[in-house]
Copies of this chain bind each other. A is one copy, B any other.
Amino acid sequence: MNDDRFHVYDTTLRDGAQQEGLNLTVTDKLAIARHLDDLGVGFIEGGWPGANPKDTEFFRLAQTELDLKYAQLAAFGATRRAGTKAADDPLVAALRESGAPVVTLVAKSHDRHVELALRTTLQENLAMIRDTVSHLRAEGQRVFLDAEHFFDGYKSNPAYALEVLRTAAEAGASVIALCDTNGGMLPDELAEVVHVATGTSARIGIHCHDDTGCAVANTLAAVKAGATHVQGCANGYGERSGNANLFTVVANLQLKRGFDLVPRESLADMTRIAHAITEVTNVTPNSHAPYVGVSAFAHKAGLHASAIKVDPNLYQHIDPAEVGNDMRMLVSDMAGRASVELKGRELGYELSAETSRELVNRVKEMESRGYTFEAADASFELLLRDTVAGERKRHFEVESWRVIVERTRGGELVSEATVKLYAKGERIVATGEGNGPVNAMDRAVRLGLERLYPELAEVELIDFKVRILEGTHGTDAVTRVLVTSSDATTEWSTVGVDENIIEASWQALEQAVTYGLLRAGHVAG
């Protein structure tokens, strides 16, 4: 919400994009901006127009293609060069012409950085700030200032660091964000410095990095010390260890400190938004992320399942629905009947006491052989359906399969799989090649079944994990394979276990395809 009492300022598209391996197109940036606006942030920093052609293009397109409900765009840039005038600086002109209502200027506040990186005098740096801020203000933009390396600068030369803030405020900057650029601060020391910095006429903001694992706590400490503008990135993206995770910051402030930062119904959509952004960035979602991770409200403890049933709030710090997440019970070998029943209910089945008992016994027996259901929800659901139905119904039956991997005399590597199946009354023989045995099997099965089940074209194997489990009590080691698949809308995981890695992979693949067919609405023959 663009509520001027408190600013939620996102810098995913600029500082977050510095993350190693993250590479956003202009279309990606527009998509992320829409997601952030859905969440209700007040400001979206779109990039550095003028310095980066992609960012110039982003601001140009934003004027026609972004219809923001809550957020204002901010253009990021530097103060004018030494020895020039802001009015004549082409990079300042690009900020002016970006069409963004807000410009965020980065300025040096650490004396050594002024000398070493900027190669100018401390006085000229102040002049650059004064000139650039007042010029942009006069041209009608709102100006925020990022005081770079502020905390290290304050340690090095406190008088000068504070002089930078005063200069910017007097020139008309309405926000001064104190940046822990190297990310080395701890909350107590940071809060003391923030407190000292609140003496100017400008609003104080905070910009933290996670190099000490304290970016979120540092942000909260700054707010307690007087900051009313918080910067951060979606999913904690950013250089090195990342920026402060803006989602965690917002959830903490709103749910635990009573701030009214984003609309309640947007907060209840945060988990979906966080995941939607990972789809754009193509960064694997952090399943352990606070509030929005898939594991964030997952409980393993079989012991306490009965108490969880009576009062879930004794075991979770907030109601996961407030951030659009869900409590999940993990089925593991510690699991008793209560957690299996809870899990069944989560999947939409009311299990009788007898069915629960039978299911627990099957889970325990299979887990003792190396299966794991906590990481394989789809396998658990198939097992549950079989237990409820009394027998396993199948979309297809397997007659046989064969996999050949060969390195030829010429050094060529060949992987080939042949499957022989029955489905809908037909016998099917199909052969697939791949970059490895599992890929070849996957292709063979889908090639064989796609004509009968065209929806399989949407199903994709997206992850494959292998674990060798030691044998116990004289048995051989077994291999456990976890396969994650997806269709257009969701993901599911299945598990196979065998001494033989290829057989284990086959089991997981077979279930993955079966589950995909169930999702597509096919009732098994």
Contacts and interface: CB of A to CB of B under 8 A. Distances in A.
Given A113-B314, A402-B405, A290 B18 contact: no
A113 B287 CA distance: 28
Contacts of A220: 186-188, 214
Contact of A317 (B184, B288, B502): B184
Interface string A404-415: 111111000101
A244 to B, nearest CB: 9
Interface string A225-259: 00000000000100111100100100010001100
Nearest to A420: B409
A379 to B, nearest CB: 13
Nearest to A499: B435
A414 to B, nearest CB: 9
28 contacts: A18-B301, A21-B375, A23-B469, A26-B470, A27-B470, A110-B314, A116-B310, A149-B314, A182-B317, A183-B317, A186-B217, A186-B252, A188-B221, A211-B291, A212-B248, A213-B215, A216-B217, A217-B218, A240-B297, A282-B465, A282-B467, A399-B409, A403-B406, A405-B437, A405-B500, A407-B506, A413-B498, A465-B467
Contact of A438 (B20, B26, B314, B501): B501
Interface in A403-448: 403-409, 413, 415, 420, 435-438
A35 interface: no
Interface of A: 18-21, 23, 25-27, 110, 112-113, 116-117, 149, 152, 182-184, 186-188, 210-218, 220-221, 224, 236, 239-242, 245, 248, 252, 256-257, 282, 284, 286-291, 293, 295-301, 303-304, 307, 310-311, 314-318, 330, 372, 374-375, 398-409, 413, 415, 420, 435-438, 463-470, 472, 476-477, 479, 498-503, 506
A470 B408 contact: no
A241 B304 contact: no
Contacts of A186: 217, 220, 252, 256-257
Given A184-B317, A188-B220, 13 more contacts: A19-B288, A20-B298, A20-B330, A21-B374, A112-B311, A211-B290, A213-B215, A239-B295, A239-B301, A400-B409, A435-B500, A464-B468, A465-B468
A290 B210 contact: yes
A406 B399 contact: no
A500 B415 contact: yes
B252 A113 contact: no
A479 B404 CA distance: 18
A212 B303 CA distance: 24
Contacts of A112: 311, 314
Given A184-B318, A409-B399, A295 B500 contact: no
A376 to B, nearest CB: 10
Contact of A240 (B221, B288, B398, B467): B288
Contact of A468 (B299, B466, B468, B503): B466
A472 to B, nearest CB: 7
A401 B408 CA distance: 7
A502 B405 contact: yes
A5 B479 CA distance: 45
A440 to B, nearest CB: 9
B213 A245 contact: yes
Contacts of A463: 468
A400 B299 CA distance: 50
